[in-house]
Amino acid sequence: MTVISADPRLSRFDPLRRIYFYDDFDDGMNGWSELIGNYERSLDSMLPEYADMRPPMLSAQSMWDTGTAGSMQGTYSLKLASRARAGALATSIKRLTFRRRGRIQLECYFTFKPEASELRLSLHDVRAFGILFDLQDGMNPEYRWMPHLRYLNASGDSMVNRWQMKGATRAFSKIGDSGETVSHFHLGAENWEDIDLPPQTLAYNEIATKMNWHYLRVSVDLAARSFLGFQCNDLVYEGAPLSYIKMPAMPNLNCMLNTAFWVETNRDKRAFFYLDSVLLSGEF
């Protein structure tokens, strides 16, 4: 911990005993890619909700009025940008495996905004953003399970500012004709539940081109299959374990430890989500 405290890049985090990865996007994409749907023989076999998601990109946050801001610390952040269609999503995922089932913790610094295509505040234009884990047991796996955490910023013309969890997903669909591939869309509008916390208004600032960075920490116990809690800035949830999506284990996914972010637009305008840096740590 003395080494971490002495490193200005790491001292802003509170990692567990060992670090799985630390990604500063000044160094590139670091393995983050688009979350796409499963397909077989043809891309047309993909579930339609996955067919038009946008991949991540690197951004220096250049704005028409403020110039180039760069990231929170450095030049580049990882940027997700949705299509300009209400309800459209952009996603990014990093695919790993674990070597021991223990507690894990993800920390990041992020910000979000709609595209600054109008000379107005645009406070309602981002619908939501979130983070999820896609996890499966190791040897002789029993379960695949997926903790989801969403910040619902706005719905229609109303501000919501609530953190939510998700305890159920849609039914699986068969993909292709081999019997080997299935898929399910788990980022739909259904089955989100408010977490027992007051609304949290995140710093947005007075115009759509001003960015304020936020801290997020999410904790999960792989051994207990427990979604422990989270912190965003000064809001901390450490109550009863949160709900998550649970399903039987699937072939070829043993020891899966995937992490994904997404952003959803509320208007026919692109929504942006930026990550300055991400750190995943654990007890292993």
The H or E element spanning position 5 is helix 2-6
**Domain-located, residue 192:** yes
**Domain-located, residue 6:** no
pLDDT (tens digit per residue) in 88-139: 999 999 999 999 999 999 999 999 999 999 989 999 999 999 999 999 998 8
**Domain-located, residue 9:** no
How open is the CA angle 153-158-161, to the nearest 5 degrees? 30
Residue with the two structure tokens 């898929």: 183
What residues have CB less than 8 Å from 198, skipping those under 6 apart? none
Count of structural domains, the chain: 1
**Domain-located, residue 5:** no
Range with the poorest average pLDDT among 38-47, 216-225, 236-245: 38-47
pLDDT (tens digit per residue) in 268-284: 999 999 999 999 999 98
**Domain-located, residue 7:** no
Cβ(212)–Cβ(205) below 8 Å: yes
**Domain-located, residue 162:** yes
The CATH number assigned to the domain holding 270 equals 2.60.120.260
Strand partners, 263: 90, 129
**Domain-located, residue 21:** yes
Which domain range does residue 230 map to? 15-282
Q: Which of 23, 20, 46 is nearest to 261 (CA)?
A: 23
**Domain-located, residue 4:** no
pLDDT, mean over the chain: 92
- CA 150 to CA 197: how far, in whole Å? 13
Q: Give how far Cα 15 sits from Cα of 94, 141, 256, Å.
A: 18, 27, 21
> What is the predicted pLDDT for the residue at 46?
74
